[in-house]
Amino acid sequence: MQTKPFGKSGPQASVIGQGTWYLDRGDRRSAISALQRGIDAGMTHIDTAEMYGDAELVIADAIAGRRDELFLVSKVLPSNASRRGTITACERSLKRLKTDRLDCYLLHWRGSYPLADTVAAFDELIAAGKIRSWGVSNFDAEDLDELLDVAGAGKIACNQVLYHLQERAIEHAVIPWCERHGVAVVAYSPFGHNDFPSPSSKAGAVLQGIAQARKATPRQVALSFLTRLRSVLAIPKASSPEHAAENAAAGDLTLSDGELAALDKAFPRGPKPRSLPML
Ligand code: NAP
């Protein structure tokens, strides 16, 4: 499994991580086994959020005794992202995750609290050793410009954004911005949430063909395509150990230029939308 830095010379995280949205809704034992199988296979980067119901509690059970192997990320809701509220929310997440620190802590999306207040809270959390780095989610290039003015260079570890084969809007401005400033891009919903291309579609057939030729699966090829750029990591969510193992193996698959070009043609980037798509 490859790793990539979270921010300029920041801590390294596995290029394929594990999403946990809705992981608390199905069979709990299967969810715990999925996380553990994923960690065993190298997906040590785990993404969660205070918004994801009991997902933090499921993670706590899955990672007991293994905290030091992990790169753990959680997020504060915009409605809690005041200076004091961010600190309280982080402490709540630490308690639920049964850990004393997060490797990265994110503002889930931009809300009405001034960015300066949230950033001040992040700085305080770093000074207290409760988080190692901080980042944002669902920020467009203009939001990142404002954030950079507030925080200064070299502070933003990542921007977590929607990115999958059928939604490539971030390639227009967000990825170039992040690459210019040494900010990691974390692709969320890399399988389109619940809309993965079917092999019966024209583009899905191209994906399937490449997968067969590489003795891989279409989902592994999709993850490899999304993480082809040096700044991009991806966090698929899986609730079965089999799915987790399949996704982890994508961390060792490198596509050829010809395969990347075929996927680029089958799933075109499209024009730049007016606003950043998000779920
Ligand atoms: P996703 O990862 O694109 O897709 C999850 C779906 O793919 C689930 O139905 C899952 O089924 C299925 N799946 C996973 N691996 C599979 C495999 N190998 N074979 C077949 N099916 C497979 O969707 P997502 O949960 O929306 O996104 C991933 C993570 O990104 C989230 O969990 C969350 O951590 C993060 N996220 C962040 C934001 C944000 O605003 N920052 C928004 C959305 C998501 P099973 O569950 O049955 O395995």
Angle between helices 28-40 and 55-63 (to 10 degrees): 50
Whether residue 70 contacts residue 46, with contact meaning beta carbons closer than 8 Å, is answered with yes
The one-digit pLDDT tens for each residue of the chain (279 residues) are: 999 999 988 899 999 999 999 999 999 999 999 999 999 999 999 999 999 999 999 999 999 999 999 999 999 999 999 999 999 999 999 999 999 999 999 999 999 999 999 999 999 999 999 999 999 999 999 999 999 999 999 999 999 999 999 999 999 999 999 999 999 999 999 999 999 999 999 999 999 999 999 999 999 999 999 999 999 999 999 999 999 999 999 999 999 999 999 999 999 999 999 999 999
CA of 26 to the centre of ligand 1 (A): 13
**Residue ID of nearest Cα to ligand 1 atom 2:** 236
Residue with tokens 């996704």: 247
Name the nearest CA neighbour of 131 among 183, 76, 177.
76
CA of 237 to the centre of ligand 1 (A): 3
Structure token pair of residue 193: 């949430």
Q: Is-catalytic flag, 52?
A: yes
Please state the atom number of ligand 1 nearest to the C-alpha of residue 242: 18
pLDDT at 80: 98
170 phi and psi angles, rounded to 5 deg: -65, -15
Global pTM?
A: 0.98
Is residue 260 helix, strand or coil?
helix
pLDDT at 129: 98
Distance CA 231, CA 91 (A): 29
Structure token pair of residue 228: 């082809």
Q: Mind spelling out the 3-state secondary structure of 138-150?
A: CCCHHHHHHHHHH
Distance CA 252, CA 16 (A): 10
Distances (CA, A) of 90 to 21, 105, 193: 18, 8, 26
pLDDT at 9: 81
Distance CA 56, CA 93 (A): 7
Ligand 1 binding pocket includes 236 (Cβ within 6 Å): yes
